[in-house]
Amino acid sequence: MKKHLSRLGLFLFMMAIVLAVTGCPDNDYTVQLKPADAVMLRTLTFYRADGTNTKTGTPNYQTFDPDELAMIAGQYPAGHLTNDGDWHCIGGEFGNSLPDDVGGSGSYTNLTTRLGNAGFYVERFRGNDDLSDMAERRFKAADQLTDILIGWSKAELGRQPGYGQLHKFLDAHFRQDLKNASSYCWEGQLINERQTNAAEEFAVRFGEYLYERGYFKLSEVPDLAVILASSDSQAGQLWIQRLVARKMGVPDDAAIPACLDFLADEAATEKSFTNYFVHTQFYRAKVKEWKNERKSKPAAKPPDPESVSADLFGQLVGLDFNLFGDTPDHLTVKLSLPAGPLHSNGQWNQADKQVVWQSDLQARTDTNHLPFACYANWVQPDEAFQKAHLGKVALHGDDLVQYCLWRRSVDERRGAEWDAFVAGLNPAGNLVASVRAFRFAGEDTTGVSSSYPRGLLENALK
């Protein structure tokens, strides 16, 4: 699906990772939500496609993974799954907990009172919220990669003049820069999910960082731009040679030493790196894991050196070689409401009366990304009841949310006492005076105060 152009170990020697992006099938999910008092009506439509048919404009449907199809069906009532070829649809009613169909966790809460109700929806789709764990894994990978690079460079250049300077650079500056590069990559991915110009901003910020750290000179920018734009691997290798020579103290106007011939082209670099890498403790540990796994899984294939190093690099950047390219899946969530929400991170579509969220999604097993989160809070005043007992729709918006939260928090006896009081209010009387005068039975001795709901209602009436 995606291939990196140069050896992974040369990550920061190359200013950027060149990705050759090709099309690949992905899953598309659309979640339709509609609150219905205490339950949420949920419909999920989904399919797998490889691009779009240029003639019909419809997706090029592919067969959906049978295991995932079965897993999704298991989250809903039996017999609710329908299929139109490779297009699938399933629905059901859910209470507080929403199904783990697309991947993640969600909840719906509806607080109903005599004056109206407040709804709360929040859902996490896939991802990982453990920021500390993700940072630790990325930095550990940076240390492991640096140690491997130091070992490789020592095997090739340890006896060459100027190697001490290169070793010092790798062990100190490069190690720290690799960790910062990891954080930049991760931040760039987060920005990319929320801003349309993220790739451009990321390239500028990361490029400035590398320039300040001495990875390239301004005079080299035109050549580097051509290298990255044209995927000229040969030119890239020559630039790497010059950078390594510079870190060994070789002047830019001097010839590149013959000891750096192993960096002259991709084939020579890969051969050199692989010859070293297969003898490292890191790779041997992977081989040992494979041998143990083979006892229970005879068909397990031995670890390939390039895939092992690729996995380590993936842990470093936390992006699975997918910085600004395609992501595995796509999600659309639509929440139908009678009116716009009070609070939400989605977009309100007035014509369809829906809050809409859209996002690309990483794979279900990906633990290097933050989740995609949706939330919305809304209210629906009981207009008939409020007009009958308060003379108008007095309590609405955030005040109605606070009222509903308070009403849910009190015990059954006091709740019933308050509801009876509200139901007895008459617009013909002095409503504010009646509210001010209310007290729970035994309020002075029990310490349970009615001042909070009285304050909400009094302010609403004023």
Q: What pLDDT was estimated at residue 392?
A: 96
**Residue 6 placed within a domain:** no
Say whether both 310 and 245 belong to one domain. yes
311, with CB counted inside 10 A (0-12, 13-18, 19+), is middle
115 contacts: CB under 8 Å, gap ≥ 6: 381, 382, 385, 386, 390, 395, 400, 403, 422
Q: Indicate if the pLDDT at residue 204 is higher than 80.
A: no
- Cα-atom radius of gyration of the chain, to the nearest Å? 31
Q: What pLDDT was estimated at residue 25?
A: 75
Q: Indicate if the pLDDT at residue 215 is higher than 50.
A: yes
User: How many independent structural domains does the chain possess?
Assistant: 3
Residues 413, 21: Cα–Cα separation, whole Å: 64
Say whether both 148 and 286 belong to one domain. yes
460 contacts: CB under 8 Å, gap ≥ 6: 390, 394, 395, 399
- Average pLDDT of the chain? 85
Say whether both 336 and 366 belong to one domain. yes
**Residue 12 placed within a domain:** no
Place of tokens 């005068």: 437
Q: What pLDDT was estimated at residue 8?
A: 36
Cα-Cα-Cα-Cα torsion 296, 302, 305, 308, nearest 10 degrees, comes to -20
Specify the 3-state DSSP secondary structure of 146. helix
CB 329 within 8 A of CB 29: yes
Residues 34, 378: Cα–Cα separation, whole Å: 12
34 contacts: CB under 8 Å, gap ≥ 6: 40, 41, 335, 336
Q: Tell me the one-letter amino acid at 372.
A: F
**Residue 71 placed within a domain:** yes
Say whether both 203 and 300 belong to one domain. yes
Specify the 3-state DSSP secondary structure of 72. helix
**Residue 94 placed within a domain:** yes
Q: In the predicted model, what is the mean pLDDT of residues 306-332? A: 66
Q: What pLDDT was estimated at residue 229?
A: 65
Say whether both 165 and 306 belong to one domain. yes
Say whether both 349 and 419 belong to one domain. no
Say whether both 102 and 214 belong to one domain. no
Say whether both 364 and 409 belong to one domain. no
Q: What pLDDT was estimated at residue 15?
A: 34
Q: Indicate if the pLDDT at residue 231 is higher than 80.
A: no
Residues 102, 14: Cα–Cα separation, whole Å: 37
Q: In the predicted model, what is the mean pLDDT of residues 309-330? A: 61
Say whether both 254 and 123 belong to one domain. no
**Residue 5 placed within a domain:** no
The tens digit of pLDDT for each residue in 41-100 reads 999 999 999 888 877 878 899 999 999 999 999 999 999 999 999 999 999 999 999 999
Stretch among 105-114, 147-156, 206-215, 334-343 having the lowest mean pLDDT? 206-215
Q: What pLDDT was estimated at residue 296?
A: 84
Question: Which residue did the predictor score with more confidence, 297 or 147?
Answer: 147
- Domain end among 317, 340, 367: 317
CA 376 to chain centre: 18
Q: In the predicted model, what is the mean pLDDT of residues 443-450? A: 80
Residues 88, 33: Cα–Cα separation, whole Å: 17
Q: What pLDDT was estimated at residue 383?
A: 97
Q: What pLDDT was estimated at residue 17?
A: 32
Q: Which two tokens stand for residue 50?
A: 């490889």
Stretch among 85-94, 129-138, 146-155 having the lowest mean pLDDT? 129-138
Q: In the predicted model, what is the mean pLDDT of residues 351-369? A: 89
- Domain end among 286, 317, 348: 317
Q: What pLDDT was estimated at residue 22?
A: 35
**Residue 172 placed within a domain:** yes
Q: What pLDDT was estimated at residue 4?
A: 36
The tens digit of pLDDT for each residue in 272-294 reads 988 999 999 998 998 898 888 88
**Residue 3 placed within a domain:** no
Query: Which helix (H) or strand (E) covers residue 189, if one does?
Result: helix 175-192
In whole angstroms, how far apart are CA 35 and each of 94, 313, 384, 404?
Answer: 10, 44, 20, 17
The tens digit of pLDDT for each residue in 376-392 reads 999 999 999 999 999 99
CB 439 within 8 A of CB 461: no
| pLDDT confidence band for 202 (50 / 70 / 90) | low
280: containing domain:
130-317
Say whether both 455 and 341 belong to one domain. no
User: What are the counts of helices (DSSP H) followed by strands (DSSP E) for the chain?
Assistant: 16, 15
- In the chain, the N- to C-terminal Cα span, in Å, equals 64
The tens digit of pLDDT for each residue in 8-37 reads 334 343 333 333 333 467 899 999 999 999
Say whether both 374 and 424 belong to one domain. no
Q: What pLDDT was estimated at residue 309?
A: 79
Q: Indicate if the pLDDT at residue 401 is higher than 50.
A: yes
Q: What pLDDT was estimated at residue 366?
A: 79
Q: What pLDDT was estimated at residue 14?
A: 36
Say whether both 163 and 295 belong to one domain. yes
- Domain end among 317, 342, 360: 317
Place of tokens 């190093």: 309
**Residue 182 placed within a domain:** yes
